[in-house]
Each structure stands twice: as structure tokens, then as C-alpha cells.
């Protein structure tokens, strides 16, 4: 065991400071590797992409520093325990934010503690996922004013990637106040600049089930740890609100691949009836998510590293 975990031998031999030094060195090396990968990925963007490399690097270094502080994780654990942990699943917790539909007596969905697991996604992974979707991303974001929205935006990584790479109007929605505040602080510290007309990132603290995504061209669901009922409610909401051609990126995709187009659901097809011919944009059986009457078709699947796995699957879906 001590051979498998770097530093464990030092701990067993009663040298915790040596273990701490090794962990710090491993994290520093990982950060430098992530920054180098980010620079390579950004250098490969098509000419004319309004990428702001210095601001991206500043954001990644600051977020990495913050996520390594003990105080960051202590505040995160305390907020989750206070708002979602005291009453157990089904009881919900105190707090000003409310979820619609399927909530308990306080109006909130009964979120579990696992629903709030912390993780982060490197820039090079994010860009690889968008590149896998090819022209569909450009088409989805082509209309002026289209938003890029991250549901479950944590401390803002994925939102800042979009704003600082493509100049997209980028918005994050995060239910935990401590993570939301970190995102706002880090974004405010970034060097000013950007081409004329490029939009800043913005952050909203609240339940994603209360968010309006009807103006979004691209929605990224940070759903790898979400409770199944949240993932299902989010997918149904996307099916109702997104415009045709809008894209969703999911770390799971399970809920998106089965959600029915609202017009089909309203016609009673969900509860056993045959889906109507012609619904679903004619994309019958595209990938694993384009069955008749489905709201989404799958356009890409890609595996790439994240903080908790070497080959996390990402799935990209398009609203039919």
C-alpha cells in the first residue's frame, strides 16, 4: 500500500510534514502540467479566436490556489452540512433558495450530500469536448446574444473558460454560496481587457431549476454527481426551454438521452402512446439519443481527464 500512495510510507514512519511536502509538490507539478496543456490547447485555436491567454492562466492559477486551501474545503463542508445535511434526504434544509416541482414542504428538492461533491475540469479537457462537437458549437452560438450557461458552476472554472476563450456571454449558476462567492471574487481579480464587444462572465447563486435558459446556445451540465431526480428535472427543463439547435454537454447524459420533446409528452406519448411521426426533427436513432419523439440527439462522445478520473466520458447533445 505504501508503495502505491506517494508519501504514505512517510506517514507510516511518523513524518507527516514529509507527506505534506510531497502532496504540495505533486499538486504544484499537476498545476504546471495543466497550465502547459492549456497553453498548447489555446495555441491550437483557429486564427481570430479572441482567446485571452494571460487572463485564463491567471484564473486557473488563482482557482487552483484557492481549491487547495483548507479553509475553502472547511467552508464548503460547513455550508453543505448546514443547508442539506441536518435533516437527511427528504427533509431539505434551511435557506432562501427554493426548487420548484417535486420539492418537500420547504419547496426544495431533497438533495443528498453526494449532490455537492467537489471536482474540477482542466481547460484542455473542456476545449477537447467542445472541439469534438465540431461545427455544431459555432452554429449553436452563432446568433447574437446567445448565452453559454454552466449549471452547477462551482467556483467558476468552466464559465471563465468560455468567456476568456470565445468572448461568449457566459453565465454560471451555483447553489452553494461559498463557491459562488469564490467565482465572483476570482473573476473580479482578472486583468481587464478583451476585444470590443466580448462579454464578461456573470454568476448567479441559486437553484438551477429556477434558472431561465431560453437564451442559451450551449448549456454545460456539471452533473457528474447530481442526484438522479435533479438530473431528470434539469433534462426535462432543457427539453422545454432550449431552442432547436442548442447544445448540452453532460458528464453523464443519462437523463438527456431519454427526455421526450415537450410537444410529444403533452400529446401523451410518454405514457405509452406511440410518438407522433415527424417529431424529433427526423433524427430517428441518431447516436444513442435520437429516438422518435426525443428532445435531444447525441452529436459527440469524448473521454478526457478531470480531477477525479483519467478518462471521464463527456456527451454532447443537440436539441432537435
Ligand X SMILES: C[S@@+](CC[C@H](N)C(=O)[O-])C[C@H]1O[C@@H](n2cnc3c(N)ncnc32)[C@H](O)[C@@H]1O
- Catalog residues that contact ligand X under the rule CB under 6 A: 115-117, 119-121, 152, 154, 157-158, 173-176, 179, 207-209, 222, 224-226, 230, 306
Looking at beta carbons only, is 176 or 242 nearer to ligand X? 176
Looking at beta carbons only, is 16 or 88 nearer to ligand X? 88
What is the smallest separation between the CB atom of 288 and ligand X, expressed in angstroms?
22
What is the smallest separation between the CB atom of 65 and ligand X, expressed in angstroms?
16
Residues 203 and 83: their CA atoms lie apart, in Å, by 20
Q: Are strands 147-151 and 169-174 parallel, antiparallel or unpaired?
A: parallel
Looking at beta carbons only, is 55 or 222 nearer to ligand X? 222
Number of residue whose CB is nearest ligand X: 152
Q: Whose CA is closest to 257, among 282, 238, 230, 281?
A: 238
Looking at beta carbons only, is 60 or 246 nearer to ligand X? 60
Residues 62 and 64: their CA atoms lie apart, in Å, by 5
Residues 272 and 18: their CA atoms lie apart, in Å, by 62
Looking at beta carbons only, is 155 or 259 nearer to ligand X? 155
What is the smallest separation between the CB atom of 105 and ligand X, expressed in angstroms?
18
What is the smallest separation between the CB atom of 307 and ligand X, expressed in angstroms?
7
The owner of cell 443528498 is 112
What is the smallest separation between the CB atom of 109 and ligand X, expressed in angstroms?
7
Please spell the DSSP secondary structure of 198-250, one letter per residue: PPPEEEEES-GGG---TTEEEEEE--TT--HHHHHHHHHHHHHHPPTT-EEEE
Looking at beta carbons only, is 11 or 210 nearer to ligand X? 210
3-state secondary structure 73-118: HHHHHHHHHHHHHCCCCCCCCCCCCCCCCCCCCCCCCCCCHHHHCC
What is the smallest separation between the CB atom of 274 and ligand X, expressed in angstroms?
34
3-class DSSP state of 38: helix
What lies within 8 Å, CB to CB, of 206 at 6+ separation is 97, 173, 175
Amino acid at each position: 500500500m505504501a508503495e502505491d500512495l506517494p508519501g504514505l510510507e512517510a506517514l507510516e514512519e511518523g513524518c507527516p510534514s514529509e507527506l505534506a511536502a510531497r502532496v504540495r509538490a505533486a499538486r504544484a507539478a499537476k498545476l504546471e502540467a495543466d497550465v502547459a496543456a492549456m497553453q498548447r490547447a489555446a495555441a491550437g485555436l483557429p486564427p481570430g479566436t479572441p482567446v485571452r491567454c494571460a487572463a485564463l492562466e491567471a484564473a486557473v492559477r488563482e482557482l487552483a490556489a484557492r481549491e487547495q486551501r483548507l479553509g475553502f474545503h472547511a467552508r464548503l463542508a460547513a455550508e453543505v452540512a448546514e443547508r442539506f445535511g441536518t435533516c437527511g434526504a427528504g427533509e431539505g434544509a434551511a435557506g432562501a433558495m427554493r426548487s420548484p416541482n417535486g420539492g418537500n414542504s420547504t419547496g426544495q428538492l431533497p438533495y443528498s450530500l453526494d449532490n455537492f461533491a467537489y471536482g474540477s475540469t482542466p481547460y484542455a479537457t473542456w476545449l477537447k469536448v467542445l472541439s469534438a462537437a465540431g461545427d455544431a458549437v459555432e452554429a449553436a452560438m452563432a446568433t447574437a446574444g446567445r448565452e453559454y450557461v454552466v449549471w452547477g458552476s462551482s467556483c467558476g472554472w468552466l464559465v471563465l473558460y468560455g468567456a476568456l476563450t470565445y468572448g461568449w456571454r457566459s453565465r454560471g449558476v451555483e447553489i452553494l454560496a461559498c463557491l459562488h462567492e469564490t467565482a465572483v471574487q476570482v473573476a473580479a481579480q482578472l486583468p481587464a481587457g478583451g476585444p470590443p464587444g466580448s462579454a464578461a462572465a456573470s454568476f448567479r447563486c441559486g437553484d438551477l431549476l429556477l434558472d431561465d435558459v431560453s437564451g442559451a446556445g450551449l448549456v454545460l451540465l456539471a452533473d457528474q454527481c447530481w442526484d438522479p431526480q435533479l438530473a431528470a428535472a434539469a433534462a426535462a427543463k432543457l427539453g422545454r426551454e432550449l431552442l432547436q439547435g442548442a447544445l448540452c454537454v453532460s458528464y453523464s447524459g443519462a437523463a438527456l438521452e431519454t427526455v421526450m420533446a415537450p410537444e410529444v409528452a403533452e400529446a401523451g406519448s410518454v405514457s405509452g402512446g406511440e410518438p407522433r411521426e415527424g417529431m424529433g426533427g427526423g433524427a430517428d436513432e441518431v447516436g444513442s439519443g435520437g429516438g422518435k419523439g426525443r428532445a435531444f440527439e447525441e452529436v459527440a462522445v469524448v473521454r478526457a481527464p478531470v480531477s477525479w478520473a483519467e478518462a471521464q466520458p463527456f456527451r454532447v447533445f443537440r436539441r432537435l
